[in-house]
């Protein structure tokens, strides 16, 4: 006789036999897009367009288009496109976050990896297609320096003014900074290779006096490259292409391993960043978030094209160094939303989130965006390599070195933030006078 009293072995459903029936993948995808239990499209788009005061600046999107197609003054074209990208960058982040809430942790991580630095990717590809190699390199390097020095420095400074000292999970921070150091070294190697080839095969067989002479020439070459830009002429050109393309593929493999490390195998190291966070509820349904992400990406591509097209004339007419535009101005616009979020988290004494935003974004650019653009240039026959100007390589190396020194103890204060900001201002001054 069947047991009338339920126990541990009793199935939850009469005909289930204790087996949980998993829905087919197509059915689960369809359930997501049906939007059951999700906000309506009207509520979703209302939140999307009216959820931030920064969206007022969307008026500059049509103005940028008019300025471009009616061939207004270069300064207006540059300024309108420059300002228009700020709200678009914020909306990209909003759409990505809302869409990721319905996709789970793994897909969410991949989505944020792809669209977290969408503006840098779009601006980079646009400049690459127009042959503006220096703008590509300086904007990417500027994004890394902006996150590591300016944003992290302002966050440490803001948090230090409210709290005498802030603590964060040091193991995860060191793992991230170590990967950042690795990517920095991969940019030093092409510069060292080019310098070695340019000066007769390197320093290995030099006498002491010859070594000193070569060192002096290396330093002078570093300063000259700031003005003249990256020079790929000479016997090192083919070698730089091979080194850069091979390194780009290897860096992408390392970045995929880093995603697995962060999201799966060692996810517990990063749990401190979310331990005190309240569960976030979706404000947009999946279809609306996906459509918004696509639409804003397209608009950002147009604005990036108009912006890059105006840089050359603006720099020449108003005597603004192109390196300064790429290294300082463009990254501030592209990362405006992330900058505000990182400082706000620091004011709440949530330094794990702040470091995750700043260092994590820098890793995305150095280990994902830069290699991606090298491969895109390879496919489209645009010679983008990992050989940055010697001066830029040195600047990146010392910046990563300083960040590693400051976060190795798991503590932060306003003095550390001040040091990071001061280094960023010194670098900005150096590129302004270039």
Q: What is the pLDDT of residues 352-382, one digit of tens each?
A: 778 877 888 888 899 999 999 999 999 998 8
What average pLDDT does the segment 167-185 reach? 83
Question: CA dihedral in degrees (310, 315, 320, 326; nearest 10)?
Answer: 60
Q: Are 150 and 423 in contact (CB under 8 A)?
A: no
- Phi-psi map region of 132: left, alpha, beta (phi>0 left; psi -120 to 50 alpha): beta
d(CA 59, CA 164): 42
Tell whether the model's pLDDT for residue 99 goes beyond 90. Answer: no
Q: Among 29-33, 84-88, 405-409, name the one with the lowest average pLDDT.
A: 29-33
Residue 225's pLDDT band, with cuts at 50, 70 and 90, is: very low
What average pLDDT does the segment 224-250 reach? 70
**Length reported for the chain:** 434
Residue that wins the pLDDT comparison between 9 and 258: 258
d(CA 42, CA 58): 19
Residue 253's pLDDT band, with cuts at 50, 70 and 90, is: very high
CA-based nearest residue to 190, from 413, 53, 383, 328: 383
CA distances from 417 to 61, 161, 179, 422 (A): 35, 10, 22, 9
Q: Among 61-75, 260-274, 292-306, name the one with the lowest average pLDDT.
A: 260-274
Predicted pLDDT of residue 109: 54
Tell whether the model's pLDDT for residue 67 goes beyond 70. Answer: yes
Tell whether the model's pLDDT for residue 424 goes beyond 90. Answer: yes
Instruction: Give the angle 64-150-115 at the CA atoms, nearest 5°.
Output: 55
What average pLDDT does the segment 235-251 reach? 86
Predicted pLDDT of residue 388: 84
Residue that wins the pLDDT comparison between 67 and 215: 67
Predicted pLDDT of residue 298: 87
CA distances from 42 to 30, 124, 203 (A): 20, 34, 67
As a whole-number percent, the residues of the chain with pLDDT over 70 amount to 76
What average pLDDT does the segment 56-60 reach? 92
Predicted pLDDT of residue 218: 46
Block residue for tokens 């330093």:
219
Residue that wins the pLDDT comparison between 105 and 422: 422
What average pLDDT does the segment 270-293 reach? 70
DSSP 8-state class, residue 411: E
What average pLDDT does the segment 403-418 reach? 88
The maximal CA–CA distance of the chain, rounded, in angstroms, is 100
Predicted pLDDT of residue 270: 65
Predicted pLDDT of residue 370: 92
212-221 contacts, C-beta under 8 A, 24 or more apart:
218/390, 221/195, 221/390
What average pLDDT does the segment 222-241 reach? 57
What average pLDDT does the segment 310-314 reach? 87
DSSP 8-state class, residue 38: S
User: Structure pTM?
Assistant: 0.73
Residues with Cβ within 8 Å of 44's Cβ and at least 6 positions away in sequence, in order, are 98, 283, 284, 285, 288, 289, 292
Predicted pLDDT of residue 223: 43
Predicted pLDDT of residue 278: 57
| Number of other CB atoms surrounding residue 344 within 10 Å | 14
Predicted pLDDT of residue 378: 92
Predicted pLDDT of residue 175: 81
Q: Are 294 and 95 in contact (CB under 8 A)?
A: no
CA-based nearest residue to 391, from 229, 177, 148: 229
As a whole-number percent, the residues of the chain with pLDDT over 90 amount to 18
CA distances from 423 to 51, 151, 325 (A): 35, 12, 18
């Amino acid at each position: 006789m069947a047991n009338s009293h339920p126990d541990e072995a009793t199935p939850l459903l009469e005909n289930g036999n204790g087996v949980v029936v998993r829905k087919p993948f197509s059915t689960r995808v369809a359930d997501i897009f049906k939007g059951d239990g999700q906000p309506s499209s009207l509520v979703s788009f209302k939140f999307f367009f009216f959820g931030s005061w920064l969206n007022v600046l969307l008026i500059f999107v049509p103005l940028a288009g008019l300025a471009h197609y009616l061939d207004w003054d270069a300064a207006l074209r540059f300024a309108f496109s420059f300002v228009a990208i700020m709200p678009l960058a914020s909306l990209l982040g909003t759409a990505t976050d809302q869409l990721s809430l319905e996709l789970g942790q793994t897909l969410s991580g991949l989505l944020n990896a792809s669209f977290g630095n969408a503006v840098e990717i779009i601006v980079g590809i646009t400049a690459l297609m127009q042959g503006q190699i220096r703008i590509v390199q300086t904007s990417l390097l500027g994004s890394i320096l902006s996150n590591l020095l300016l944003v992290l420095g302002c966050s440490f400074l803001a948090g230090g003014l409210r709290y005498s000292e802030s603590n964060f999970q040091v193991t995860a921070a060191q793992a991230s900074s170590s990967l950042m150091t690795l990517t920095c070294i991969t940019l030093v190697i092409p510069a060292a290779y080019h310098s070695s080839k340019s000066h007769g095969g390197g320093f290995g067989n030099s006498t002491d006096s010859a070594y000193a002479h070569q060192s002096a020439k290396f330093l002078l070459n570093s300063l000259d490259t700031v003005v003249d830009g990256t020079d790929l002429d000479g016997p090192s050109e083919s070698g730089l292409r091979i080194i850069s393309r091979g390194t780009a593929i290897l860096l992408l493999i390392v970045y995929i391993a880093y995603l697995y490390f962060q999201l799966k195998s060692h996810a517990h190291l990063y749990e401190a960043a979310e331990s005190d966070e309240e569960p976030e509820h979706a404000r947009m349904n999946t279809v609306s978030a996906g459509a918004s992400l696509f639409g804003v990406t397209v608009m950002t591509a147009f604005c990036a094209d108009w912006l890059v097209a105006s840089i050359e004339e603006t720099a020449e007419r108003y005597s603004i160094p192109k390196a300064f535009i790429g290294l300082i101005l463009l990254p501030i616009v592209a990362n405006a939303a992330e900058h505000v979020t990182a400082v706000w988290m620091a004011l709440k004494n949530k330094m794990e989130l702040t470091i995750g935003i700043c260092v994590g974004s820098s890793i995305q650019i150095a280990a994902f965006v830069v290699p991606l653009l090298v491969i895109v240039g390879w496919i489209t026959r645009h010679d983008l390599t990992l050989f940055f100007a010697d001066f830029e390589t040195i600047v990146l190396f010392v910046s990563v070195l300083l960040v590693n020194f400051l976060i190795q103890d798991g503590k932060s204060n306003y003095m550390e933030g001040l040091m990071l900001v001061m280094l960023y201002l010194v670098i900005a001054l150096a590129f302004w006078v270039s």
